[in-house]
Every structure is written in C-alpha cells, then in structure tokens.
A and B are shown apart, each in its own frame.
Chain A
Amino acid sequence: MAEPVLTIEDLRVEFSTEDGIVKAVDGVSYEVYPGETLGVVGESGSGKSVTVMSILDLIPRPPGKIVSGRAMFKGQDLLTASKDDMRRIRGKEIAMVFQDPMTSLNPVFKVGDQLEEAIKIHDPAVSDDDARKKSIELLQLVGVPNAERRVDQYPHEYSGGMRQRAMIAMAIANEPAVLIADEPTTALDVTIQAQIIEVLKTAQEETHAATILITHDLGLIAEMADRVVVMYAGQVVEVADVETIFRAPRMPYTMGLMNSLPRLEADEERLIPITGQPPSLINVPPGCPFHPRCYLRNGRQICVEENPPLEQVDQPEHLSACHFKQEMKGDTSKFADDEVAS
C-alpha cells in the first residue's frame, strides 16, 4: 500500500466533568490512505467523533484535554501545530462535513457568499468573478438544481438535503487531501440519504480525497467504506476491510453488532442483541472494556485483568483487540449464513 495521508497514533483525550474524568479517546491509532474511504463505526460515546475533532483542534479546551498521541499529516504533527498552521490546514487540506448543516452554514449569509469566502480565504489570488463561477460549478457538481439562481439564496431557503449538498460543496471547494464526514446522512430521510450518498461518491471521485466516514449506520458503511475501524469505549477494537468486518469479524463486539441488526431482505424470527449496557466512560470496566457484555469470555480472568492489544488476526490487514480472537476462527456473522449467488 501507498503511504498513509493521515496517521493517528495512540491518541488519548479526556474531559473533566463534575462526575469525574471522561476518557473519551483512550489510545486510538489508525491511518487513512489516499483515495480510500475509511469507515469509523461505533455507538454513541465510543469516541469516533471526538478522535477527529481533537486532531483538528475543534474540541473545547478545557474541559477537553489531549493527554498524549500524534496525528501525522504531510510530515507535520497536527497536535503540536500552531494556530495559524491549523487554520491553513482546516478547511483546505482537511475538510469536514457535519451531521447538521445548519451548524456550519451561517444563516445570515447567502450560500454563494459562504462558498466564495471558503475559496478565497485559502487562495486570496482568486478574483471575485472566478470565485463566484467556481461556487456555481461546485453547487452543480453536488446536484443543486438551478445553481445560478440558488447561489444567491440563504441557507433557510434550502431544504435539509440541499443544505447538506451545499456543505459538501464547501468541504470540497479547496480539493482537500482528507475529507471527514461525520454522520453525513443521519438527519436525512432515506430517499434524500440515497441522493447524498451519490453526491459524496461524486465528490470523492472529483477530488480523490481520502475520506473518513464516521457513522453509527452500518448500512452506510457497507455502501461506502473500503476499510472499517470499529470503536468501543474510546478504543479501536477491530480494523479490517469492509467485507471481513461484516461477514467474518474477529472481535465479539463487532460480531454482536452485526447479529443484532434487523434485516431488510429477509424475514427473521428473533434478533440477537448484545446483552447489558454500554460502559460509562468515567468508569470503564478494567481489562477489556467489552468483557461485561462478551459472549466469548466465559468467566476467564485475563479479560478482567488485561486490556487486549490490537493485534493481527488471519490476514496482515486484519486487527482485533481480543484475547481469544483465535477462537473465532471460522465464525461468521449472519450475513454470511446464506449462500449469496454471484
């Protein structure tokens, strides 16, 4: 494989709250390669968003605190970069698309003005005319109809799906090397989601950006991701290519997640949930954070005593954080149960 464009190493982020220290990100490492879509999945509180917000200096500090780690981007550690450097990188080299477009579009400026500003702030040499022309082109690219007219409208005149398109246009305006999409379709209806997925794919083809797709929606991951990082309680617990993650995961949490999903394409008798509740990040269980809910543990002591490291299993690109990952050899999720004719 080529060199990764962004490498996160052993990132630890804490928040101090009234109830105690929240270990939101607890030793996360992953990297993303040029042109690929890396899916990051996990449930609420798993640390998937905080990880990327931290490396872009977007968490409030305090109460947030980056305890340790590195985030290498083009030979530079983002965590030690100056405010000026970060301003140059954010929005230009690393761009973000958020769940709620209204939080990143300014309601008092026209969509076109905001796009033009995004272009000119990183490249002051661009003329007003060119910036406007490029804004219209970008809106056309993301499928905003009548872009010449809609460029002069305000965000409230756009529907939810259109706002999300405008935000994607803004994110790709400067052809970023890394595009981070945080729950980009979560607030949208199914038919609008389908449109935005197409737009994200187009945007990626146009810019060749490495994409980090953060979501709890496993359907979106199945559709968009090449590789997948699974997070639990602020830690990475499994990394593999998308098919392996869905069909033959080697971490009991991932297996549980897959098997608890209801299916669209078959009638099923009963769902198989993961037992118990997600852990509190103030009081993470000792050892493996998943051990109180794990079906594979069977009372074994090591799961309570030692947090399993993320290690290779089966193939070199497949990593799992489970003491007993070898016992899962040959196990498949329900998605691999029935024969899929090709």
Chain B
Amino acid sequence: MSQVQVNSAIHDRAAKGETILEVDDLVKYFPIRAGLLRKTVGQVHAVDGVSLNLKAGETLGIVGESGCGKTTLGRTIIRLTDPTAGAIRFKGVDITGYSRGQMREIRREMQIVFQDPYASLNPRMTVREIVAEPLRVHGLYKERGGKKRISELLETVGLAPEHGNRFPHEFSGGQRQRIGVARALALNPQVLILDEPVSALDVSIQAQVVNLLEDIQEEFGLAYIFIAHDLSVIRHISDRVAVMYLGKVVEIGTRRGVYETPSMPYTQALLSAAPIPDPVRQGRRERIVLKGDVPSPADPPSGCRFRTRCWKAEDICAKEEPELIVRASDHPDRCHFSAIEEKVIVS
C-alpha cells in the first residue's frame, strides 16, 4: 500500500499552541478562457498572496463577502485545487508539491466540512457507509470494531447509532451537517477546514452545531479554519480572525482586536453594516454604507484593492499597495491611512 514516502512525524499529535499549519504567500489564479480554441484571455485572482498560520487547538476565522477568495483559500490549503504559487506547510513539512498519494496521508490529519449538507453527502449511501468511507479509503476500517467506531462517531456528533442505517434524505439540514462532521472526524484528524458549516441552517439549529463544533474541538484538540460570511458566528467561534477582500487578507488579529479596534476601513464598514439583532443597539449606531459593488477579481484595482469603495482613498492608494503590517492597532492591517475606529459596533 504505502510506497508513498511521507514523513511519519505528521501523524504525531501536535502539542497545544504549536504551529501546525503555515500558508506562505499563497496564490490561486483561475484562467478565463474564451473563443474557439479556449485561449486564456485573463486570470481570476481568487487568492492573491495570502499568508497565515494555525496553531494546534485554535480557531482561525476567515471572513469576507462572496468572491473574496475565502472558499478557494480553504480548498487550496487542503489541495482540492492546486495553488498557482506559494507554499503550504503542515507541521513544518512542505506539502505544496505533494502527489495525490502523498496528500492522502496528509488528509488523515486535515479534513474539510462543506457548506451544503444536501449536496455533500452521497444520497445512495447509508449514514454508516458515509461515515465509514474515509476509513475504508485509507485502509483503516477494521472488520472487528469498525462498526463500534462508527457508532461512537455518530454519538460524538449527537446522533443515535441506529440513525446509521438511514439515508441522508431522512435527515434535516442540521442533522446532515452532523453527519458531515462525523465523516470528517472518522480519521481522527488534527485540522478541520470548515467552509460555511452553519450558513445553510436555521438559527435554532445553527447554535446546536456551533456548540457541537466547540465541544469536539475541546475533546480532540482540533485546530479549525472556520470560513464564514456571518460576522457574529465568526466572532463567537474564533480565537483569531482574518478579514479578506478580493483575494487578500486586509486585516488579521485576535477576535477582540479585530472586532473592537478594527483599523482597516473595509473591516470597519463590514462591522458597521452587519445588522445587530437588537433594536435598541441598532438604533444607536451609525452605519457606514459603502458605495458600489466589489470590483471584478479578474481585474482588481491597482494599489489598494479596496480604494474604489473607500472614503479615505487618496492618490497613494492607487499607486502603492499597502503591506499587511501593524500600524494604528495592535494587529496588522493593509491600509495607508490605518486608524482605530472604536464606534463601529455599539456595545
């Protein structure tokens, strides 16, 4: 089975706080093809130079609007799509050029949960088969004890073992997402990439799944990359937060730093625009309403990518791209005119 050479140290459990995943200047462009010969006429700059690191046991939230590249980032990190440039290191091992066979070993440690609980489960398989599949693929399903392991996994995510004999369509959205989580946990990974895992769920069910994710993180010492557009959910679940805009991280810091002292205008606009479900507080804050739409990622603006919608923009913003460095706040932002704005959320 294993002619594939992979440093076996990757299967050792990382100690809490140890860096488990590093992403270095990651770039993913998608070609735009047109014409009879499908010639490449342009590139969609989906992810354009993103650097991140993730420590064992922590949750890094990635937030941004549609088209900001957050989903592509997640899929590129787990190599569902190949990066155009940059490096991904898992426990210090560069996996950027890993073959499919080598990636199979990595995926024992790094799994992904998708947004749509209706599309990501095979409708012809029973729940038990779905959850057992990763174990079978990796040759880890033991005829003795395999059944018990699946029952344990189902119980971990709050389903009864007898649910295992049913098919996905018999479950509600929240329960399907639990099945997706059980499948991701089957190989006992160290990192989960969660791509909008609760966005399709109703509010009362969303809270159940968020709590479940927190519980299993605690129990198994998992590190999460939690991708979402919902700012409240990201605040609740994350230790650190990265804000993305048009393929770039524009602000990154602890959740408290980013939510209470945002220093990049885009983050400020985003936070001020997010509706607060509380009529009293809602009535007492001022909203920054941005003009226009997000520019096309096929033709991003020169310099700072946010400048076309920014109220602070000056000539320099079109000429020079601001670096992601610490300026006005305690955490890095990408703004020439970085300044703390404390009043964007009323608390």
Name A residues whose Cβ lies closer than 8 Å to a Cβ of B: 43-44, 145, 159, 161-162, 189-195, 197-198, 216-223, 242-243, 246-247, 256-258, 260-268, 270-275, 277-278, 335, 340, 342
Contacts and interface: CB of A to CB of B under 8 A. Distances in A.
A264 B284 CA distance: 15
B207 interface: yes
B276 A265 contact: yes
Given A222-B282, A271-B236, A189 B277 contact: no
B153 interface: no
A191 B211 contact: no
Given A267-B256, A268-B236, 16 more contacts: A190-B231, A193-B273, A197-B275, A256-B204, A258-B277, A260-B203, A260-B207, A261-B277, A262-B210, A263-B235, A264-B271, A265-B345, A273-B204, A277-B175, A335-B278, A340-B284
Given A192-B293, A194-B290, A262-B236, A219 B276 contact: yes
Interface string B267-304: 00111111111111110100101101110000000000
Contact of A277 (B174, B231, B272, B287): B174
Contacts of B172: 277-278
A262 B209 CA distance: 12
Contacts of A223: 275, 279, 282
Contacts of B273: 190-191, 193-194
Contact of A218 (B210, B229, B277, B294): B277
A43 B232 contact: no
Given A246-B279, A264-B271, A271-B236, A198 B289 contact: yes
A272 B232 CA distance: 15
B236 A222 contact: no
B347 A273 contact: no
A149 to B, nearest CB: 16
A145 B291 CA distance: 10
Contacts of A217: 275
Q: Which of B278, B279, B280, B287 has the most C-beta atoms of chain A within 10 angstroms of its own C-beta?
A: B278
Contacts of B204: 43, 256-257, 260, 273-274, 278
A194 B309 CA distance: 14
Given A161-B293, A189-B229, A277-B172, A263 B236 contact: yes
B4 interface: no
A159 B235 CA distance: 29
A216 B203 CA distance: 8
Contacts of A260: 203-204, 206-207
A247 B66 CA distance: 32
A288 B27 CA distance: 55
Contacts of B292: 145
A258 B278 CA distance: 9
Which one of B205, B275, B345 has the highest number of Cβ atoms from chain A below 10 Å of its Cβ?
Answer: B275
A274 B209 CA distance: 11
Contacts of A261: 203, 207, 232, 277
Given A242-B279, A265-B347, A271-B210, A194 B203 contact: no
Contacts of B284: 340, 342
B211 A270 contact: yes
A191 B206 contact: no
A271 B174 CA distance: 16
Which A-B residue pairs are the 8 nearest by beta carbons?
A219-B275, A273-B207, A260-B207, A194-B273, A262-B236, A43-B202, A189-B65, A274-B204
B128 interface: no
B198 to A, nearest CB: 10
Contacts of B235: 262-264, 267
Contacts of A192: 65, 293
A270 B65 contact: no
6 contacts: A194-B287, A197-B275, A219-B276, A243-B279, A267-B235, A277-B172
Contacts of A216: 202-203
Interface string B25-67: 0000000000000000000000000000000000000000110
B208 interface: yes
A266 B346 CA distance: 10
Given A257-B203, A266-B347, A274-B204, A190 B229 contact: yes
Given A194-B287, A273-B204, A277-B174, A246 B278 contact: yes
Contacts of B270: 190-191
B207 A271 contact: yes
